Amino acid sequence: MRLRLQPVPQILIVLSLVGTAPGAGRAFAQQSSPEPSTPKDPAARPDQVGAGAKTQSGTDPDLTMRTPTIKVPVNLVLMPVTVLDKSGELVYGLSQGDFQVYDNGTPQLVTEFQSELVALSVVIIVQTNDPTGPLLDQVQPLGPVFTDLLLGAEGQAAVITFDDRVRVNQDFSSDADRLDKSLKHLAVSGNGARLNDALWRALSLIETRPRSDRRVIIAFSDGSDSGSKTHSDAIIRRATTDGVGIYGLGFSPGQELFSNPAKTQHVSEQDKNVSRPLPSGMPPTPSASDEIYGDPIEGLPPLSEAGRVIKSKLVKNLLELYAGYTGGVFHSHWKDRALQNQLQQMASEIHSQYELGYVPNTLAQKGFHRLTVQVDRRGVKVRTRAGYFYGGSAP
């Protein structure tokens, strides 16, 4: 969820590979990340356009030609939306009038609509602690896949690796050869798994990109964290505020990567992240939602009034949690060619998203704003981010 004037696409791809274990190696990355800072307050401020210039004395240079001061609200909320049919195929050809957005249960007027993909800003995060050795061989050749299927001609990618340190291997670049080399030179190093700190560093990188880009994170990981100073609440707040979708490709830490090759791949319940509308003023109870188009978001922990995630047994994986709040998808297993196939599916989804924008009429309500979307089609599934933070206390 973003609060801004113009659409903002950017993407973050996290490749986090196995649980931690003793071992050491030499990593390719060079730049260590700074310590995470306190999340910024996401509340948007009005912008001032055309304010008259003044001389050093404080008077207008030409009172007769003075430009009037116009205050323009910039509380524009933008949300990428994925629409799927009953068979899980992407739904194309929808128009602005087919969507209804609800903010904390209150209907909103959609003023911005875009069905064509804008430029992407992608951060690829790779876990490089000792147990990831067998997996890096499958990640290293993925540069052309990212370039051809996801980034296209206008997209840019950065690369971050993490273990017990966080390093920026490559800043944002559109150079396909540079990305290919960055991934091919990945190497094992360290024992930790500072996933949250790596995500925080990636979010900092994304904030340097043009506000017109779309933002996403794709993570290959078991979703565990070890040694981070950044709390999961801070990741959720910052990602939803900055409009970063987090996608995950991982595996169960209790299974061997190359065993049971014929085993059916499991798709997390978070790939059913579906946003549903409720009548204004009606609480989001299961009984109130039974007749609404789409399927419910399953396994998404609620937030306390302070904006903290309430611990839930339904979500056992950090990446699954982040995907749930940001409108992404988490696949818990990948093997061999399936990795490229799932990347291709994710790229197709991102390239087929609709982007809706509105100025909320609920900003008197501080804290987390729950977002739901209704589409004028029966039997569809609608996936978008769970909401955004506005004012109130930080996580």
Q: For 287-324, what is each residue's pLDDT tens digit?
A: 223 223 333 334 455 555 444 555 555 566 898 889 88
Q: Would you say residue 348 lies in a domain?
A: yes
Domain count of the fold of the chain: 1
> Higher confidence at residue 139 or residue 299?
139
How far is 367 from 394, CA to CA, in rounded Å? 8
* pLDDT tens profile 161-200: 999 999 999 999 999 999 999 999 999 888 889 999 999 9
Q: What does each C-alpha distance from 318 to 14, 221, 224, 327 come to in angstroms?
A: 12, 10, 6, 14
Question: pLDDT class for 334, splitting at 50, 70, 90?
Answer: low
Q: Which range (132-146, 206-220, 231-245, 331-345) has the least confidence?
A: 331-345
Domain housing 198: 77-255+308-390
Whether residue 367 contacts residue 390, with contact meaning beta carbons closer than 8 Å, is answered with: yes
CATH number (domain holding residue 251): 3.40.50.410
**3-class secondary structure, 154:** coil
Q: What is the rounded average pLDDT for all residues in the chain?
A: 72
Q: Would you say residue 330 lies in a domain?
A: yes
> Higher confidence at residue 150 or residue 337?
150
**3-class secondary structure, 293:** coil
**Bridge partner residues of 80 (DSSP):** 355
Q: Would you say residue 280 lies in a domain?
A: no
How far is 275 from 386, CA to CA, in rounded Å? 7
Q: Which two tokens stand for residue 123?
A: 């951060």
Q: Would you say residue 201 lies in a domain?
A: yes
Contacts of 288 (CB under 8 A, 6+ apart): 278, 282
Q: Would you say residue 227 lies in a domain?
A: yes
Q: What is the pLDDT of residue 375?
A: 95
Q: Would you say residue 366 lies in a domain?
A: yes
Whether residue 81 contacts residue 356, with contact meaning beta carbons closer than 8 Å, is answered with: yes
For residue 147, what is the DSSP state? Answer: I
271-274: long-range contacts, CB 8 A cutoff, minimum separation 24: 271/323, 271/329, 271/330, 271/331, 272/297, 272/298, 272/381, 272/383, 273/297, 273/300, 273/323, 273/324, 273/327, 273/328, 273/329, 273/383, 273/384, 273/386, 274/381, 274/382, 274/383
Q: Which two tokens stand for residue 252?
A: 């169960």
> Higher confidence at residue 71 or residue 48?
71
Q: What is the pLDDT of residue 3?
A: 52
Q: What is the pLDDT of residue 337?
A: 61
